[in-house]
Chain A
Amino acid sequence: MNAESNLIPLLNIAEEDVNRQMQICNACRYCEGFCAVFPAMTQRLEFNKADIHYLANLCHNCGACLHACQYAAPHEFDVNIPRSMAKVRLQTYTDFAWPKKFGTLYQRNGVTLAISSALALGLFLILTLVIQGNLFTEIEGGDFYQIFPHNTLVTMFGSVFGFSALALLIGVVQFWRKVAPTQEKRQQTPVTAMLQAGEAALTLKYLDGGHGQGCNNEDDAYTLARRRFHHMTFYGFMLCFAATSVATLYHYVMGWQAPYPVFSIPVMLGIIGGLGLLVGPAGLLYLNYQRHPDHGDQAQRPMDRAFIILLFMISLTGLLLLGFRETALMPLMLALHLGFVMAFFLTMPYSKFAHGFYRCAALFKSYLERLKEKKSKS
C-alpha cells in the first residue's frame, strides 16, 4: 500500500469487476501459461486498487484467456479478463494524466486526436500561406527551411515535445509510485528485472501466446500478425526517431544543413522507418477491424484507431514530402507532415501512445516480483 493513504481506496465499477473476476481466476489458474498477468495474480489473495491497475497494465489484451475460459459468457460468471482489464487501463491513463484535468481527453479520445490534427494541420497550412503566399511553389533542392527556418521548427516542436514528454514522465512516475510498494523501490538489484522487462517489451513476448504461435484476433485461432505489425510500427517509429536524431547531430555537430540526399543516413533511416510505420499501422488497423467483438473494450476502439491512423498519416505525408520535395507540391506536403507530427506531439501524453510506458512499468514490476519470489524460495 502507498504510504500516503492509510485508507484502502474504494474500487469503482471497472476495478470492482476486475476484483470479482480475479477471485474466479485465482481459484482456477488454467491460463497461467499464457502471459504475465496470471502468475502475478497467484501471488495475491486479495486485490487492492493498486494491484488492479498494475495487473490491468500488465495485460496485453491478447485474447487467449477469453477464448480458453470455461467461465466466459454465456456462463453466469461472465468472465472476460481482456475487456475488464482494458476498462481499467483507460482509467489508469485518465487518472495519471498530467495535468490531471487533461485526463478527460481520454474520454473521447478519437475526437481529441481528430481535433488536434485539424488544429495542427490548419496552423501549418495557414503559416505556409502567410509565409509563402501559396501552397504550391517549387523550391530549389527542396529546401524546406526556406519556408520554416530551422530555429522556428526547433522552437515549436522542441517546446511541445518537451512539455509532452514531461507530462508523460510525470504520469508514469506517479503510476509507479502507486503500484510499487516501498520494498520493491528499494530493491538492491533492479537491473536484472529492468533488462528482462525491456526484453519482454521489445520482443512483445506476451503476444506470443506462451507457446510461440501468437495471440488471438478474430477467433480462437492463434496468429502472429498482431505482434509482427506492432513490431513494424514500433521499430518503424524508432527508426524515424533515429533519423531525426541523426539529422540533429548533423545540424549542430557537423554543421550540415538539411535537406540531405536520399542516400544519406537520416533519409535512409527515415525511408525504412517510414515504410514500417506505413505497413505496421495499416496492418494493425485491419486487425482492429477484424477483431473479435468481445476482445477489449469496444468503447476504446476510436482511441486505438485514431492513434493508428495518426501514425499512418505521419509516415505517409513524410514519405510524400520526400518524394515530392523537388516539385511544387513540397510546401503543401510539408504543411501536412508538420501538422500531423505536431498533432502527435501534442497528444503524446493523452493518447494511446501512453500505453507503452505504463505497460513497461507494469512489466518491470512483474519481473521484480518474480525475482523476489525466487529469492524467497531459495
Chain B
Amino acid sequence: MIDVLIIGGGNAALCAALMAREAGASVLLLEASPREWRGGNSQHTRNLRCMHDAPQDVLVDAYPEEEFWQDLLKVTDGKTNEELARLVIRESSSCRDWMRQHGVHFQPPLSGALHVARTNAFFMGGGKALVNAYYRSAEHLGIQIRYDTPVADIEIKEGRFVAALVPEREVNGVHFPAERIEAKSCVLAAGGFESNRDWLREAWGQNERGEYPSDNFLIRGTRFNTGTLLKRMLDLGADSIGDPTQAHMVAIDARAPLYDGGICTRIDCVSLGVVVNKDGERFYDEGEDFWPKRYAIWGRLVAQQPDQIGYSIIDSKAVGNFMPPVFPGNKADTLEQLADQLGLPRETFVQTLRSYNDACRPGSFDHTKLDDCATEGISPAKTHWARPIDTPPFYGYALRPGVTFTYLGLKTDKTAAVRFADQPSQNLFVAGEMMAGNVLGKGYTAGVGMSIGTAFGRIAGRNAALSSLDRQPA
C-alpha cells in the first residue's frame, strides 16, 4: 500500500507530494486532467505574495508580517482566521529557497506590475513553468504520477481516510476500469468548483429580474475544477467553511473563452474611464482606489447588473496607459456610434457620458497616485482620475464576471487536517483552494492564493507523511 495519496495536481498538491516524499513516504499523485492540462489553476498564476523584512533577490524593501496581515484583514473584511493567516504569512517568508530547490525560478516584476514589486515574487515564465518544475522534481524523486485519473469518491471510516475511488473511464479511446486506491494517509488538493455550472447556478440562484446570473459567468480558471471531491466531502460530513457565492472574481473581456481565459482576458482601463451597464448607466465609482486594489470587486459588480454585462468606456487619452487588452475594443469617432456598436441605448448612454463629462472637476491627472481629478454633483461619483471622455476615437470593451476560483471549502486547522464534527482526522489533510476559504473568506489580494496553496500544501504533505508513519501531525 502506498503511504501518501495526493488527490489533485496543482501547486498545493505538488507541494504536498514533494514534502511527503522528502519526509520519506512513498507518494502517488492523481491528477484528474490529461497531462497537457495539468496543474489546475496554478498554470494561470504568476506570483506569490511574500512576507520579508529586508530586500530579497527579486523583492524590494520590506513587507513585514503585520502589514501583510493588515492587508489580508482589509480585503477580507475580517472574514479570515488570524492563526491560519499568520501561519501562511510566515511560511511565505521562508518557502522560496525550497521552491528554488525544486526548480522554480523567480524574475523581477513584469512591466505593468511594478506596483507589486515589494509584495510579490514573480515566477519566471509564470505558473505553468512552476508546475512543470514541480512535476519534473516529483518524477525525479520517484513520486508516482497518474494523469486522467479523477477521484469521484472517498471511503472514510471513523474519521480516517481508507481509500479513494476512481470511476471507470475512457481516455483517448482506451477503457479503464473503476479502481479503489488505498493509502495510509491522504491529502485533498483538488481545487474549488468554479467550473461546475450546476453548482454555480445553485449557489447564485435567481435574481430579482428572474435571471440566473452565474449562467453568464466566464471561468478564468481550469475547466477541471468541477468540485466533485469537495461536494463528496461535504456530503460525508466534513466541516465546511465559506460562502458558496464568494470567489476570486474579476471583470474580464466578454469575448474571453468560457474556461481557462487566464490573465490576458482582464480589462485594465476601468479606472481611466467610466463603466456603464446595458441600460447605458454608470453604477459604481470607477476611481475609488488604485486598480490593483479594486479589480477584484468588479466581477461581483458586473454580476449584479442586468444581463451580467458592463462596458468600460475610454477615449484616446487613455490609450497606452494600461496593460493592452487581448482583444481589440470597439472603436468609434463619436459616442453615438460607439453606443450603436456596443448595442447600448444611444440617448441614455450619451446622456450618461455628458453628465459625467460636465461633472469632471479640473485637476492635475496622475494615474500613479490618488489624484484630485474627481466629479462633482453626480451619483455615483468618480473620485479619482476623472477626466472628460471627449477625445475621439472612443473605445468600448464589454465586460463579464470572470471567476478564477471559489472560496467554499473544508474547515481546517494549523495541521491542515480535515475535520469531522470539529474533530481533526488523523490521516486526511486538505490544501489549496479546497481550504483557502479558511484564510480568505472574501475579497482577494494578488498572489495570496499561491501563498495559501504553498503553505498548506507543504504542511499537509509533511503531516500526511508523519501520519503514514503513525506519528502525530505537527
Contacts and interface: CB of A to CB of B under 8 A. Distances in A.
A42 B326 contact: no
A210 B128 contact: no
Contacts, number: 91
A345 interface: no
B262 A71 contact: yes
A31 B46 CA distance: 10
A33 B264 contact: no
Contacts of B110: 29-30, 32
B239 to A, nearest CB: 34
B37 A68 contact: no
B378 interface: no
B368 interface: no
B260 interface: yes
Given A26-B324, A30-B263, A70 B111 contact: no
B126 A68 contact: yes
By secondary structure, the B interface counts as: loop
Given A29-B111, A30-B110, A32-B110, A64 B125 contact: yes
Interface string A58-97: 0000001101111101111100000000000000000000
A27 B43 contact: no
Most buried by A among B124, B136, B320: B124
Contact of B124 (A39, A73, A74, A211): A211
B44 to A, nearest CB: 5
Nearest to B123: A30
A74 B325 contact: no
B235 interface: no
Nearest to B257: A76
Among A29, A74, A75, the one with the most B-chain Cβ atoms within 10 Å of its Cβ is A29
Interface string A197-215: 0000000000000110100
B264 A221 contact: no
Nearest to A23: B326
A75 B326 contact: no
Given A23-B324, A45-B320, A220-B136, A70 B112 contact: no
Interface string B83-107: 0000000000000000000000101
Interface in A12-35: 23-24, 26-34
Contacts of B105: 33, 210-211, 213
B264 A71 contact: yes
Which range holds the interface residue count of chain B?
35 or more
A62 to B, nearest CB: 11
A33 B136 contact: no
Contacts of B136: 220-221
A30 B125 contact: yes
Contact of B263 (A28, A39, A45, A210): A28
Interface residues of A, number: 31
B107 A32 contact: yes
A34 B128 contact: no
A105 B112 CA distance: 43
A34 B125 contact: yes
A221 B124 CA distance: 14
Contacts of B170: none
Nearest to B258: A76
A30 B126 contact: yes
B107 A33 contact: yes
B324 A210 contact: no
B168 to A, nearest CB: 24
B108 interface: yes
B46 to A, nearest CB: 6
A216 B363 CA distance: 52
Contacts of B112: 29, 42
A31 B125 contact: yes
Interface string B108-137: 101111000000001111111100100010
B263 A65 contact: no
Interface in B273-311: none
A77 B264 CA distance: 11
A167 B98 CA distance: 54
A48 to B, nearest CB: 15
B263 A27 contact: yes
Contacts of B46: 30
B323 A75 contact: no
Contacts of A73: 36
B324 A68 contact: no
Contacts of B123: 30
B139 to A, nearest CB: 10
A68 B46 CA distance: 11
B319 interface: yes
A69 B263 CA distance: 12
B111 A39 contact: yes
Interface string A180-211: 00000000000000000000000000000011
Interface string B372-406: 00000000000000000000000000000000000
A82 B283 CA distance: 44
Query: Which of B43, B126, B129, B260 has the largest count of A CB atoms less than 10 A from its CB?
Result: B129
A167 B110 CA distance: 41
Nearest to B124: A33
Contact of A220 (B113, B126, B132): B132
A68 B125 contact: yes
A30 B325 CA distance: 15
B320 A70 contact: no
A75 B265 CA distance: 14
Contacts of B263: 27-28, 30, 70
A26 B123 CA distance: 17
B264 A28 contact: yes
A28 B323 CA distance: 9
Given A29-B110, A30-B110, A31-B125, A70 B324 contact: no
A211 B469 CA distance: 38
Nearest to A77: B257
A354 B132 CA distance: 34
Interface in B238-276: 257, 260, 262-266
B326 A27 contact: yes
Contacts of B328: 23
A357 to B, nearest CB: 29
A68 B107 contact: no
17 contacts: A24-B264, A27-B326, A28-B126, A28-B262, A29-B111, A29-B323, A30-B46, A30-B123, A30-B126, A30-B263, A33-B107, A45-B319, A68-B129, A70-B127, A70-B262, A71-B264, A210-B105
Given A27-B265, A70-B262, 18 more contacts: A23-B327, A27-B323, A28-B126, A30-B123, A30-B129, A31-B125, A33-B105, A33-B124, A39-B111, A45-B324, A65-B125, A68-B126, A68-B129, A70-B263, A71-B262, A74-B37, A75-B260, A221-B136
Interface of A: 23-24, 26-34, 39, 42, 45, 64-65, 67-71, 73-77, 210-211, 213, 220-221
Give the top 3 A-B pairs by smallest Cβ distance, nearest first.
A30-B126, A33-B107, A68-B125
